[in-house]
Amino acid sequence: MNLSFAVPMSGKLLALNQVPDENFASKVLGDGFAIQLDGEVVVSPFDGIVIAAFPTGHAFIIRRDDGMEVLIHIGLNSAGKPKAFRMQVEKYAQVKQGDVLVYVDKNKLGDSPEELISPIVFANPDIKITLNNENQHIFVRDTESIQVKL
């Protein structure tokens, strides 16, 4: 079954094995992809509930009604940079696809492009992900670049 999935942020679409963090690249946290952030907004990829909103604003976990969960981790080594984030939602907030989760000041995340790499991983082992525009620029809220199947 194809699921409606909106790109959560603008940037370059990367395979998860391109992430310079072994926890994400090895898929120990789940399968997914990454985006090298070049925008200033991160949105919910689907309708659901925010089951985790990290206090710094650097990561969110959203759960759909059918139980599918996604972790959106904005930037690498970003947990210690709370001034880079302006959270728009809190834990247990109901969100619709495309709702803003957080605004990001990417200049405060770091100087290297690697620090802007943002892994998006699924907790569900049965998920199948197809990247239609790998290594290309994709845009926030686009529903064609990434296919997610259960």
Rg (CA), the chain: 14
Output the pTM of the full model.
0.96
CA distances from 112 to 24, 77, 109, 117 (A): 18, 11, 9, 10
What fold is seen in the domain 2-149? Glucose Permease (Domain IIA) (2.70.70)
| pLDDT tens-place values along the chain, 150 residues long | 888 899 999 999 999 999 999 999 999 999 999 999 999 999 999 999 999 999 999 999 999 999 999 999 999 989 999 999 999 999 999 999 999 999 999 999 987 889 999 999 999 988 999 999 999 999 999 999 999 998
Query: Is residue 40 a contact partner of residue 81, using CB atoms and an 8 Å limit?
Result: no
Task: Please state the domain extents for the chain.
Answer: 2-149
73 annotated active-site? yes
The active-site residue, picked from 8, 73, 85, 104, is 73
